[in-house]
Structure 1
Amino acid sequence: MQQLMESIRALQQAVAAFKVDQERILAVLHANNEELHRANVELCRDLQRMGERTTDERKLPIPVRARPMPFSQAIMDTVIPASFMGPNIAFTGVEDPEAHITAFHTQMMISGGTDAMHYKLFMSTFSGTALDWFISLPDGHITSFDQFSTLFREQYIVNQAPPPVSYDLFDVKQYHGETLKDFINRFGALVVKLHTKDEDMTVHAFRRGVLPGPFRDSLIRCCPKTLSEIRHRAVAHIEEEEESKKKRGSIGLVYY
C-alpha cells in the first residue's frame, strides 16, 4: 500500500513538472510570436517608406543640364506647328557643312516658316556625332542663326570641299558608257557652280572632255561659240542617232 502511494505521489510530481514545462514553452512561443509580429510590422513600415521614397524620386524633375539647352530661352519658346513639314535632309558629321546649309536654306525657302523656326529645324537635321556636338554646347549659348551657322561651319570645316576653279572644267571627262545627255548635264552643273563667263574656255574644255566620235568630230569641224549652242547641237545629234537606229532596225554602236 505504501508503495502504491509513493507511485501516485511520483506520478503527481511528474504531471506537475510537465505542466510547468508546458507553461514555460507556451510563454516562450508567445514571446516569439510577439517578436515576429513586431518584426513584421517594422518590415512593412520600411517597405512602405521605401516605396514612397522611390515614388518621390520618380517625381523629381530632371536636372536642367541633363537636357540639351544650347538655345536661348527665346528660341526654346518658339513653337513649330505640328503640320509644318521640315527639311528632309540629314547631317551626320561627315558631309560638307556649306552644302548642308545651302540645302537647308533652299528647302526652308520652299516650305516657308519664320526665322525663329530655322534654329530648331536646322538642329533637327543633325544626327550621330553632329547631334553630340550640338548637345555639348553651353546652355543658352546660341542666340542668332548667323552665330549658329558660323559655329557649325567652324566645327566641320575640314569636311568642306575646296572651292572649284575655272580650269577644273578640263578635268571633266565623259565616261565610256555615259550618254551624251548625262555628260552635258554633269559638265553644265560644274559650269553653274563656277559662275564662269568665259565661253571660249568652256567650249574648249567640253571638246576636250567629250569622247571621240561623230559628235566630237562635228564640234571640231564647226566649233560652237557657247555651251548653249553645244546643247542644241547635242539634241539634234541624239535625234539623228535615234532615227538612224530605227532605220537600221537594230541598235548600233553608241559613241556618247
Structure 2
Amino acid sequence: MDVVIPAMLVVPKVTFTGTEDPKAHLTAFHTHMMLVRGPDVVRCKLFMSTLVGTAMDWFINLPDGHVTSFPQLTKLFRAQYIVNRAPPSISYDLFDIRQYQEESLKEFLHRFGTQVVRLNLKDERMMVHVFKKGIVPGPFSESLI
C-alpha cells in the first residue's frame, strides 16, 4: 500500500460490481495494463479501483497483508466470483445460430463469424454446412448456397 501510483498512469475505465463475468473483467484489465505497463504492485492498486459495490466490499474485507502479488489477487478474485463465469461455448452452439427474418445477410454473417471466432473452429466444411442451415430460405439464399 506504500507504493505511489505515477500521476501519468491512466486508471482503467472498466468496473466490476460483482455480477459480471470475472474472466471478462480480468481480460479488460490485463489489456489496459499491457498498454500502460504497470508493475505488479501497481496492478494490485489499480485493480482495486475497478471494483465497486459488493466487489469493493469483498476486496476491503480481505485480511491485511493477505495479498502479496497480482497473480494471487486474480486467483482470489476468480475463486470469489466463479459462479458469475459465462459458460464455455461448445461447437454445438453454432447450430443454434439462425438468421432472423428481417436480418440482413451482413448482420447474420457478423453474428455467425463472432461465434466461430469464440469457438476457435478449424473445420471449414462443418462451418459452411452450419452457415447454410442458418440462412433464411429464399431465392437469394438458395442461389448463394
Q: Fold conserved (TM > 0.5)?
A: yes
> Displacement of 1:214 after TM fit?
3.9
Of residues 13, 18, 22 in structure 2, which corresponds to 1:93? 18
Unmatched 5+ stretches in structure 2:
none
1:146 matched to 2:75? The reply is no
- Give me the CA root mean square deviation: 1.5
The structure with higher relative contact order (CA 8 Å, sep 6+) is 2
Of residues 36, 44, 48 in structure 2, which corresponds to 1:123? 48
Relative to 1, partners in 2 of residues 1:215 and 1:122: Cα closer, same or farther, differing over 3 Å? Answer: farther
Relative to 1, partners in 2 of residues 1:215 and 1:104: Cα closer, same or farther, differing over 3 Å? Answer: farther
- Once residues 150 and 159 of structure 1 are traced to their aligned partners in structure 2, the CA distance between those partners, rounded to angstroms, is 14
| Corresponding pairs, count | 145
In structure 1, the residue matched to 2:135 is: 210
In structure 1, the residue matched to 2:81 is: 156
- Is the CA contact 1:92–1:126 (under 8 Å) kept in the aligned structure 2? yes
- Once residues 51 and 90 of structure 2 are traced to their aligned partners in structure 1, the CA distance between those partners, rounded to angstroms, is 30
TM-score by length of 1: 0.54
Of residues 99, 105, 109 in structure 1, which corresponds to 2:30? 105
Higher helix share: 1
Indicate the structure (1 or 2) with the bigger Cα radius of gyration: 1
What is the one-letter code of the residue matched to 1:209? G
In structure 2, the residue matched to 1:190 is: 115
- Is the CA contact 1:169–1:205 (under 8 Å) kept in the aligned structure 2? yes
Unmatched 5+ stretches in structure 1:
1-75, 221-256
What's the CA shift string for 1:101-151, capped at 9, x where partnerless? 111111222233223211111111100110011111101100111111111
TM-score by length of 2: 0.91
What is the one-letter code of the residue matched to 2:53? G
> Displacement of 1:86 after TM fit?
1.9
> Displacement of 1:179 after TM fit?
2.3
- Is the CA contact 1:169–1:191 (under 8 Å) kept in the aligned structure 2? yes
- Once residues 114 and 219 of structure 1 are traced to their aligned partners in structure 2, the CA distance between those partners, rounded to angstroms, is 53
> Displacement of 1:181 after TM fit?
1.8
- Once residues 176 and 81 of structure 1 are traced to their aligned partners in structure 2, the CA distance between those partners, rounded to angstroms, is 53
- Once residues 216 and 111 of structure 1 are traced to their aligned partners in structure 2, the CA distance between those partners, rounded to angstroms, is 47
